[in-house]
Amino acid sequence: DVKVTQSSRYLVKRTGEKVFLECVQDMDHENMFWYRQDPGLGLRLIYFSYDVKMKEKGDIPEGYSVSREKKERFSLILESASTNQTSMYLCASSSDRAYEQYFGPGTRLTVT
């Protein structure tokens, strides 16, 4: 079974803090994704990567950055957390160029 793990299920941070969300997949997938999920808005793509050290902006990249130093790991960074970044963050991976995605359990981030 494909497994995508995320470093935390719940996280509480203060405004202005630098926040790291980690994602690891164990199926040697080329592609990895970060989404945020908000009620009524569905999933919105923040960043994705289809190779090590490669990254592409998604639909809502502002206020975020990413890092992919190894194929299995994709990190989402909030440089200076703000309250409007309170959300559920979902990581996903895929092979075959983003056809079928496998999701982690999510990190619920609260910024106070």
- DSSP reduced 3-state for 83: helix
- Interacting span for another protein (CB under 8 A) from 14-22, 61-69, 71-79, 90-98: 90-98
C-alpha distances out from residue 98 to 38, 49, 93, 108, Å:
22, 10, 8, 24
Query: What's the token pair of residue 70?
Result: 């190894």
11 binds another protein (CB under 8 A): no
CB 36 within 8 A of CB 60: yes
Which range of residues in 13-21, 40-48, 65-73, 75-83 is near another protein by CB under 8 A? 40-48
How many residues bind another protein (CB under 8 A)? The answer is: 23
Using CA atoms, how far apart are residues 31 and 15, in angstroms rounded to an integer? 31
24 touching another protein, by CB under 8 A: no
Structure tokens at 80: 């200076």
Site track for another protein across 49-88, x = CB under 8 A: -x-------x------------------------------
- Going by C-alpha positions, the residue among 98, 99, 87 that lies closest to residue 35 is 87
Q: Which is nearer to another protein, 50 or 73 (CB)?
A: 50
Least spacing, CB of residue 54 vs another protein, in Å: 12
Q: Which is nearer to another protein, 72 or 102 (CB)?
A: 102
